Amino acid sequence: MSRIPDYVGVCAFAIKMGVVLPGSNIVDMICESLNKCVHDELLSDGDTVCITESVVARAQNNYISTADIAEEIREKMQVGEDARLGVVFPILSRNRFSLILKGIAMAVPKGEVIVQLTYPVDEVGNQILSVEAAECLGEANGGLILPAHLGEQRFRHPVTGVDYIQLYHDIIEECGAKPTIYLCNDPLRIVQLAPDSVIVANVHDRHRVSRKLKEHIENCLTLQDFCNRRNDSWSEWGLLGSNMSSPDRLKLAPREAGQVAAVIQERVRAVLGKYVEVIVYGDGAYRDPSTGIYELADPQPVFGMTSGFKGKYRVGLKYKYLVDSLHENGHNQEEIEAILDEKMKEEYGRDSLETEGTTPRKVEDILASLADLVSGSSDAGTPLIIVKGFLDSACDI
C-alpha cells in the first residue's frame, strides 16, 4: 500500500542522492535511494524511475578535452592546421557550444573558421537579433547579414547578456585561427566561401542540413560524427548533448543509456521486488514563454529507456468538453461523474470527438520534461525522480 492517497492523481517527486563522481556505481546508488522509498511506501509497481543523464555520464567518466576534439577533426576531416573550416548553424550557448568551437578552432590554428549563424534566433530560440532588425537588415542585404551591418543593433542575449558574435569571434581568434562570422538562414550560403570542410552544428535539423550541403561539399560531417567511436570516452550521440565541465573539458552524453535503464530496472526488481519503468532523461522539451527559448538543446529528451515505453502515447478524454456538454444536456453532478467513469473505460480513436484537443504525445517525452522541471537539472542534488500514476493513462498507438 503506497503512502500516496488514492485521491491523488499523477504526481512526481525528487529523491536526494549522494554526490556522483566518475567511477561511481550509479546502479547501486539508485537502488540504495529507492530502498528508502520502498521502506517509506513511496515506490510501487508501475511507477517510473527517472535519472538525469548528467550523473549517468559522470559515473561513466565520459569526458573529453578540447584537444581531443581538435585531433579527431583533423583525423576525420583530413585537414591540416591551415585549413578553412565551416561551421553551420551552431546554437548560442557557452555551456553547449563554446568549448566545441574552441576544439574546432584548435584544429586549424593557422587557418580560418567560418561560422554561419541563423537569425533572429538559433535553433532552440536563443535570440541574436531583434525581429525588427532581422527583417530590415535581412531584406536590405539579400538574406546575408554581416557583423558590420549591425552597428548599434548588436544584440546581447536577453537572459545571459552575452554578445555571442563577439564571444565566438574571440574564442576562434584566441586559438590562432581567423574568425569569419555572418548571419544567414540559407545553409548553402557557406558554399560560396569555399571551405575545405563543413561541420553541421545544429541539433534537431542536422540531417536535412547535412544532406543539402553534401550535394555541394563532400567533406561534411555533423557534431554527432565526432567522439562517437568506442574507446575510453565516447557516446553514440557524439558531441551532441555534451556540456561544459571545465575550461578545456566537456562531458559527453551518456553512452548506451538504454542498457543502463534496463540494468536499473532489473536490479530494482531483483533487489527491491518492484517492477518499474526507467528513463535516462536530458533536457525537457519546454519552451519558455517569456524568452521564447526552447530548452531542448539535447538531441532528444530521453537518451535511454526501458521497453515498456515503446510505442506508448499519452492520451485522454476531453474532460472539460464532456463536462460542459453533459451539463448543457441537463445532467447533474452525480450523473456526470457516473458517465465519465464509464467513458474512461472505453477506447476511442485518435480522431474521436471525445479526445478532441488532447493530441497524443510520446510518453517518454512528457516524462522527461516533467522530470527535468522537477529536478531542476539536478541543481538541488535530486537527479532521481519518481513519477506515479502516469502510465495508467498511456496506450499503444
69-118 tens-digit pLDDT: 999 999 999 999 999 999 999 999 999 999 999 999 999 999 999 999 99
The pTM of the full predicted model, rounded to 2 decimals, is 0.87
Nearest to 111 by CA among 162, 147, 73, 142: 73
Q: In sequence order, which residues have a C-beta less than 8 Å from that of residue 231 and are 6 or more positions away? A: none
Q: Three cell numbers at 23? A: 567511477
Which three-class secondary structure state does DSSP give residue 287?
strand
Q: Where are the domains of the chain?
A: 11-61+253-311+363-396, 63-251, 319-355
Amino acid, single-letter form, for residue 358: T
- What would the mean pLDDT of 225-241 be, rounded to a whole number? 95
Give yes or no for a contact between 56 and 285, defined as CB atoms under 8 angstroms apart: no
DSSP tag of 230: S
Residue 105 falls in which region: left (phi positive, over 0), alpha (psi -120 to 50) or beta: alpha
CA 241/CA 226 separation, integer angstroms:
12
- What would the mean pLDDT of 203-207 be, rounded to a whole number? 95
Q: How do strand 312-314 and strand 361-362 relate by DSSP bridges?
A: antiparallel
Q: How do strand 302-305 and strand 277-281 relate by DSSP bridges?
A: antiparallel
CA 380/CA 372 separation, integer angstroms:
12
In percent, how much of the chain has pLDDT > 70? 89
Query: What's the CATH code, domain 63-251?
Result: 3.40.50
How far are the Cα atoms of 195, 287, 303, 372 from residue 279, in angstroms, in the given order? 41, 21, 8, 12
- The phi and psi torsions of 250 (rounded to 5 degrees) equal -120, 150
- The residues with which 304 forms a beta bridge, in sequence order, are 280
Q: What is the DSSP string of 64-128?
A: EEHHHHHHHHHHHHT--TT-EEEEES----IIIIIHHHHHHHHH-TTSEEEEEE-SSB-TTS-BS
Architecture of 11-61+253-311+363-396 per CATH? Answer: 2-Layer Sandwich (3.30)
- What would the mean pLDDT of 40-62 be, rounded to a whole number? 95
Over residues 131-190, the pLDDT tens digits come to 888 888 888 888 999 998 887 777 787 778 889 999 999 999 999 999 999 999 999 999
Sheet holding 249-251, edge to edge: 63-65, 249-251, 243-246
Which three-class secondary structure state does DSSP give residue 30?
helix
Give yes or no for a contact between 364 and 30, defined as CB atoms under 8 angstroms apart: no
Amino acid, single-letter form, for residue 47: D
